[in-house]
């Protein structure tokens, strides 16, 4: 499946209903669980390609494009306002935009975390925390330990630069 990318920065693409595969159409209709028609599809998120894909055949295409652009480039207050004031026809689309925003944020943070490898001592410490009986305390302790470790690294850099 290839989409036409229309906003590289925000990773927004468009496609026609005829560009969708039978499997995609089947999945959309099955997930909706009612008598909706595939022509009512306004947008969807392709997790694999990390693209928000708009249906250019939908009557609301221009509205959805403006909303998606404003939402994905907006700050917290702007996104909250858009969700609150969304016209009835695109409320579900705005909810999807919030999910897309969160997916992208989580993916970015996961990428950052995966690229900061642990040494043996840190691995043992993390294993110890995983075995903690209270998971909330374990997360708090891990966060604080990360902050302390970061401070120590920064201090070591400053001493080295002197």
pLDDT digits (tens, 9 = 90+) for 47-75: 889 999 999 998 889 989 999 999 999 88
d(CA 52, CA 97): 8
pLDDT digits (tens, 9 = 90+) for 84-140: 888 777 888 889 999 999 888 888 877 766 666 667 777 677 667 767 677 788 778
C-alpha distance from residue 51 to each of 16, 42, 46, 134 (Å) = 15, 14, 5, 38
Whole-prediction pTM value? 0.66
What pLDDT does residue 7 have? 94
What pLDDT does residue 118 have? 66
Counting beta carbons within 10 angstroms of the beta carbon of residue 51, is it exposed (0 to 12), middle (13 to 18) or buried (19 or more)?
A: buried
Mean pLDDT of 141-162: 86
What pLDDT does residue 5 have? 94
**Both tokens assigned to 133:** 């009986």
d(CA 43, CA 50): 13
Nearest 5 degrees, angle CA 3-CA 6-CA 7?
120
What pLDDT does residue 83 have? 85
pLDDT at 162 over 90: no
d(CA 101, CA 141): 28
Nearest 5 degrees, angle CA 153-CA 154-CA 157?
90
What pLDDT does residue 135 have? 75
């Amino acid at each position: 499946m290839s989409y036409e990318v229309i906003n590289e920065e925000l990773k927004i693409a468009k496609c026609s209903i005829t560009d969708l595969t039978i499997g995609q159409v089947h999945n959309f209709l099955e997930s909706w669980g009612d008598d909706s028609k595939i022509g009512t599809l306004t947008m969807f998120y392709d997790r694999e390609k990390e693209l928000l894909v708009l249906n250019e055949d939908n009557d609301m295409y221009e509205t959805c494009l403006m909303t998606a652009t404003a939402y994905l480039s907006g700050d917290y207050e702007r996104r909250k306002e858009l969700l609150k004031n969304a016209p009835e026809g695109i409320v579900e689309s705005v909810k999807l935009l919030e999910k897309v925003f969160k997916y992208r944020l989580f993916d970015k943070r996961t990428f950052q975390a995966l690229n900061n490898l642990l040494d043996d001592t840190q691995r043992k410490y993390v294993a110890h925390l995983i075995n903690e009986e209270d998971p909330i305390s374990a997360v708090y302790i891990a966060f604080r330990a990360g902050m302390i470790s970061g401070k120590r690294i920064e201090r070591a850099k400053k001493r080295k630069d002197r």
